[in-house]
């Protein structure tokens, strides 16, 4: 069955909803879309966009590596910022198992040991996320106004100053203020670097460059564990001040990347700067012909104009209108799934291991091992992208999490013994490996590519803040569940999050579409056509099709 898609749900144009298509070839600035002095005819412009879409689908991974090594370089360089985000977010949780930190900022217990109370653990754990929640909304506006490079550079300057508050914090209250302040600019990095990777890479490279961001996050967590492992037996204040000071090494590196990296060509198209977008495309590719650059630019301009015709606004409110509501739901759920599967079991693992009878030194060794396993798993998932879809990876990953979490919960029913404690620690590493092979990296792909191009930065902000709300819920409950001075559930905590993982599996089955190998224009058509989630994979889409040589249309064929 073939369905003809009109303006409201395809890449078609009518006089009521969009400007004269001939004007698509003439940007507002008065410049041309290519170096020729003659404007391309409307038919030629559509042909260029169609050729770009076909080339993108036919490009192999090897061809993409040869053609876009500079895009790979700049994406990897800017993604270095996420190492800092992963390092910072993991550091404070690991401090709860560091004896010198607990003695400095905790309270003396009746048994003669020191402990940071559950309320303060919860507050410190949420501090960075609270700052990120508010800072990200500002990030969305700044990105639309000033672009990726300036927003990332400004965040680096702010972070360099806020680290001083943490380094010199005289009490736990000041430490909390420093965590909140640090969070304000910190959320910029993971969100914008992933959006940047999505916008500068072709279809063949997109899953690899976006999931590399997750690898950087795992590297950051690994470095945090390694730094603390080296100071676990140091009784002085330097055991926690040095790890704080390590954070100063990242901003200068990131600022160099932001200074010299090409701006996102999609952002430049949205700013009606096609010539600058063309130069950016030229900088990101190697030996691309003028025809190739014109074709890519034509596809960007037509996609941008189509989205303007369907919904002209670019505000946060527009993310909840029409077909964008469904896309925002998917982006937010993809991000929120990361904490709601019970990821705080990993964040609190060092402290959790000690509660189950493992020594501080062995607990940090286990934490170091689990982050190393996650790093390897983050690379291993790259071998699945060519043959396995996003939806399939989510379904199997969530199923694996449910099984492991219920097993951990079962081991937590009897009183802690050395054998069961080590078994629990090993299973948490298995859980983290499954997470890093599925939900962790896939959320970066799905959460950042599913939105419309004009609303991508703001949808990414909403998705990341949904993640923060889920993290606050996850971390707050887990703090009280495992804390020895609160509910003291220990391993039984995994029962609760295993149940949540089962609910998420049900949502994925009914609501998550398969977006593997879909261009941005094709995603526009599928969402605007209201194609059910389970039919995305088996629906063929033709974008930039010219009907009677007059009007560009799109067709969706149900196979």
Residues 145 and 252 in one domain: yes
Is 59 or 187 the better-scoring residue by pLDDT?
59
Residues 337 and 395 in one domain: yes
DSSP state of 108: E
Which residue from 520, 76, 61 is spatially nearest to 257, judged by alpha carbons? 76
Partners of 545 in the β-ladder: 553
Whether 434 is covered by a domain: the verdict is yes
Mean pLDDT for 145-166 is 91
Residues 354 and 293 in one domain: no
- What integer pLDDT is reported at residue 43 of this predicted model? 60
Whether 29 is covered by a domain: the verdict is no
Instruction: Go through the chain and tell me how many residues it has.
Output: 559
CATH code, 413: 1.20.1250.20
Residues 128 and 154 in one domain: yes
CA dist 302 and 46 (Å) reads: 8
Residues 156 and 243 in one domain: yes
Three-state SS for 302? helix
What pLDDT band is residue 7 in, cutting at 50, 70 and 90?
Answer: very low
Whether 558 is covered by a domain: the verdict is no
Dihedral pair phi/psi, residue 43, rounded to 5°: -65, -40
Residues 219 and 302 in one domain: no
Residues 232 and 354 in one domain: yes
Write out the DSSP string of 486-523. Answer: TT--GGGHHHHHHHHHHHHHHHHHHH----TT--HHHH
What pLDDT band is residue 398 in, cutting at 50, 70 and 90?
Answer: very high
- Using one digit for the tens of pLDDT, what is the confidence trace for 273-318? 999 999 999 999 998 888 889 999 999 998 888 888 776 567 888 8
Residues 53 and 67 in one domain: no
- Using one digit for the tens of pLDDT, what is the confidence trace for 181-235? 998 888 788 788 888 998 999 988 998 998 888 788 878 878 887 777 777 777 8
Domain that holds residue 290: 2-19+39-58+266-310+518-552
Residues 305 and 333 in one domain: no
Residues 296 and 350 in one domain: no
**Count of domains for the chain:** 2
What pLDDT band is residue 35 in, cutting at 50, 70 and 90?
Answer: very low
Q: How far apart are the first and last CA of the chain?
A: 7
- What integer pLDDT is reported at residue 31 of this predicted model? 36
Whether 27 is covered by a domain: the verdict is no
What pLDDT band is residue 559 in, cutting at 50, 70 and 90?
Answer: very low
Q: How many CB atoms lie within 10 A of CB 132?
A: 28
Residue 311's Cα: distance from chain center in Å? 25
Is 463 or 140 the better-scoring residue by pLDDT?
463
Whether 34 is covered by a domain: the verdict is no
Residues 231 and 132 in one domain: yes
* CB 404 within 8 Å of CB 501: no
| H runs (alpha helix) in 287-438 | 290-310, 323-340, 344-347, 349-355, 360-380, 390-411, 418-436
- Using one digit for the tens of pLDDT, what is the confidence trace for 495-515? 999 999 999 999 999 999 998
What pLDDT band is residue 29 in, cutting at 50, 70 and 90?
Answer: very low
Partners of 5 in the β-ladder: 554
331 has pLDDT over 90: yes
Three-state SS for 273? coil
Whether 24 is covered by a domain: the verdict is no
DSSP state of 237: T
Three-state SS for 115? strand
CA dist 546 and 551 (Å) reads: 6
Kind and range of the H or E run holding 554: strand 551-558
Gyration radius of the chain's alpha carbons: 25
Is 489 or 512 the better-scoring residue by pLDDT?
512
- What integer pLDDT is reported at residue 285 of this predicted model? 92
CA dist 345 and 117 (Å) reads: 18
Is 163 or 555 the better-scoring residue by pLDDT?
163
Whether 357 is covered by a domain: the verdict is yes
Residues 468 and 372 in one domain: yes
Whether 323 is covered by a domain: the verdict is yes
Choose the final residue of a domain: 494, 511, 528. 511
């Amino acid at each position: 069955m073939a369905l003809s898609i009109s303006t409201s749900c395809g890449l078609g144009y009518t006089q009521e909803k969009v400007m004269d298509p001939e004007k698509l070839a003439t940007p507002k600035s008065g410049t041309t879309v290519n170096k020729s002095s003659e404007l391309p005819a409307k038919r030629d412009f559509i042909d260029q966009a169609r050729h770009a879409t076909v080339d993108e689908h036919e490009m192999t991974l090897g061809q993409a590596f040869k053609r876009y090594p500079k895009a790979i370089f700049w994406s990897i360089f800017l993604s270095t910022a996420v190492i800092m985000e992963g390092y910072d977010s993991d550091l404070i949780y690991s401090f709860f198992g560091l004896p010198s930190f607990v003695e400095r900022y905790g309270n003396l217990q009746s048994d003669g040991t020191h402990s940071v109370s559950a309320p303060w653990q919860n507050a410190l754990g949420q501090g960075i996320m609270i700052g990120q929640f508010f800072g990200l909304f500002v990030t969305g506006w700044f990105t639309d106004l000033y672009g990726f490079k300036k927003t990332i550079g400004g965040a680096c300057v702010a972070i360099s100053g806020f680290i001083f508050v943490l380094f010199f914090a005289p009490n736990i209250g000041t430490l909390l203020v420093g965590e909140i302040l640090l969070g304000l600019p910190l959320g910029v990095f993971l969100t914008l670097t992933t959006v940047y990777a999505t916008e500068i890479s072709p279809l063949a490279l997109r899953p690899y460059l976006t999931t590399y961001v997750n690898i950087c996050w795992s590297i950051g967590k690994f470095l945090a564990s390694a730094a603390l492992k080296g100071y676990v037996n140091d009784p002085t204040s330097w055991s926690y001040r040095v790890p704080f000071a390590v954070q100063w090494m990242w901003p200068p590196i990131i600022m160099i990347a932001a200074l010299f990296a090409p701006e996102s060509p999609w952002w430049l198209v949205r700013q009606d700067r096609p010539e600058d977008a063309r130069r950016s495309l030229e900088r990101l590719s190697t030996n691309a012909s003028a025809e190739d650059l014109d074709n890519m630019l034509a596809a960007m301009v037509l996609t941008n104009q189509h989205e303007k015709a369907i919904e002209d606004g670019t505000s946060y409110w527009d993310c909840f209108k029409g077909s964008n509501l469904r896309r925002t739901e998917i982006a937010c759920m993809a991000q929120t799934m990361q904490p709601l599967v019970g990821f705080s079991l990993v964040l609190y693992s060092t402290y959790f291991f000690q509660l189950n009878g493992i020594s501080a030194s062995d607990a940090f060794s286990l934490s170091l091992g689990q982050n190393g396993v996650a790093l390897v798993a983050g690379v291993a998932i790259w071998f699945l992208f060519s043959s396995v879809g996003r939806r399939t990876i989510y379904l199997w990953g969530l199923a694996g999490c449910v099984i492991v979490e219920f097993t951990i919960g079962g081991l937590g029913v009897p009183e802690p013994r050395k054998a069961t404690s080590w078994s629990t620690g090993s299973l948490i590493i298995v859980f983290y490996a499954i997470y890093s092979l599925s939900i962790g990296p896939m959320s970066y792909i799905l959460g950042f590519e599913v939105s419309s191009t004009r609303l991508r930065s703001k949808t990414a902000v909403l998705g990341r803040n949904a993640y923060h709300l889920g993290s606050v819920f996850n971390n707050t409950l887990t703090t009280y569940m495992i804390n020895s001075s609160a509910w003291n559930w220990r391993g039984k905590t995994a029962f609760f999050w295993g149940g949540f993982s089962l609910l998420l599996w049900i949502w994925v089955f009914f609501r998550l579409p398969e977006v593997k190998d879909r261009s941005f224009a094709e995603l526009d058509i599928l969402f605007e056509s209201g194609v059910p989630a389970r039919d995305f994979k088996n629906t063929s889409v033709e974008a930039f099709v010219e009907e009677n040589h007059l009007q560009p249309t799109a067709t969706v064929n149900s196979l």
